[in-house]
C-alpha cells in the first residue's frame, strides 16, 4: 500500500465526524500527490458540505475531472454541489455527459437528475427519472435511497394538489349572519 493511500483512507474514515483529522490526513495525502482525484474530491466535499463554499468546491471538482475525466467518485458530489448552488444548466450538461461514461453508477445519476428536476418543481419529470434510476439500480442498499427521493417528490406533489381555494370574504360573512 502506498503512503498516500494510508492518508487517504484515514481522511475518508474520519470524514465527516472528525474534520480536523480529515484535513490533516488530506493535507498529508495531497503532499504525496497533488493530482489525486479522490483527495481533490474530498477537499471539494468539505468545501461544499461543511463550509457551503460552493464555488471553491466546484474548482476542486473541476480540477479533479481535468486530471481524470473518468474519476467516477467525483460526479455525484459535483452534481450535488451544482444543484445546491443553483447551477441547473451546468448540472444538466454534466449529467448528460456522465451518463455516457463506462462504469459510472447510472442509477445514482438518474437520482441526481430527479433531484435537479425536483428543485425546479418539475415533479412529474422527476418521477420519470426515478423510474430510470430504479431500472438501472443493481445495489439493494441503494434502492431505499431511491424510494426516499420518490416519496419526497410525491409528497411535494400532494402539497400542491391539496391547496384549497381561498374563500370569498363576502360569502363567508353572509353565511355567519
Residues 30, 4: Cα–Cα separation, whole Å: 8
Nearest-angstrom CA–CA distance, 150 and 141? 15
Domain regions of the chain by residue span: 1-104, 106-162
pLDDT of residue 150: 97
Q: 3-class secondary structure for 79-91?
A: HHHHHHCCCHHHH
Distance CA 45, CA 163 (A): 38
pLDDT tens per residue, range 101-121:
999 999 999 999 999 999 999
H helical segments located in the chain? 3-14, 19-32, 37-45, 54-67, 74-84, 88-98, 106-119, 123-136, 140-161, 169-176
Q: Model confidence over 17-66: pLDDT tens digits?
A: 999 999 999 999 999 999 999 999 999 999 999 999 999 999 999 999 99
What is the structure's pLDDT at 99?
98
| Percentage of the chain lying above the pLDDT 90 cut | 84
Q: How far apart are CA 74 and CA 64, in angstroms?
A: 7
For residues 109 and 98, is the Cβ–Cβ distance under 8 A? Answer: yes
Q: What are phi and psi of 45, to 5 degrees?
A: -60, -40
Q: Dig out the grid coordinates for 21 from the structure.
A: 483529522
* Cell 455527459, residue located: 97
CB 27 within 8 A of CB 10: no
Q: What is the pTM of this model?
A: 0.88
**Distance (Å, whole) CA 94 – CA 109:** 10
State residue 154's pLDDT score.
97
Q: Residue 137 has what DSSP assignment?
A: -
pLDDT the model gives residue 162: 76
**What CATH class does 1-104 carry?**
mainly alpha
Amino acid at each position: 500500500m502506498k503512503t498516500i493511500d494510508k492518508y487517504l483512507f484515514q481522511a475518508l474514515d474520519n470524514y465527516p465526524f472528525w474534520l480536523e483529522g480529515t484535513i490533516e490526513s488530506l493535507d498529508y495525502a495531497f503532499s504525496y500527490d497533488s493530482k489525486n482525484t479522490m483527495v481533490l474530491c474530498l477537499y471539494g466535499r468539505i468545501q461544499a458540505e461543511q463550509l457551503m463554499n460552493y464555488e471553491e468546491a466546484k474548482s476542486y471538482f473541476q480540477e479533479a475531472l481535468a486530471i481524470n475525466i473518468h474519476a467516477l467518485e467525483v460526479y455525484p458530489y459535483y452534481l450535488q454541489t451544482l444543484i445546491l448552488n443553483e447551477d441547473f444548466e451546468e448540472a444538466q450538461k454534466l449529467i448528460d455527459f456522465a451518463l455516457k461514461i463506462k462504469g459510472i453508477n447510472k442509477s445514482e445519476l438518474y437520482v441526481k437528475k430527479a433531484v435537479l428536476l425536483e428543485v425546479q418543481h418539475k415533479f412529474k419529470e422527476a418521477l420519470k427519472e426515478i423510474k430510470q434510476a430504479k431500472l438501472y439500480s443493481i445495489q439493494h442498499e441503494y434502492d431505499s435511497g431511491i424510494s426516499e427521493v420518490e416519496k419526497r417528490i410525491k409528497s411535494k406533489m400532494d402539497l400542491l394538489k391539496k391547496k384549497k381555494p381561498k374563500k370569498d370574504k363576502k360569502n363567508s360573512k353572509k353565511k355567519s349572519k
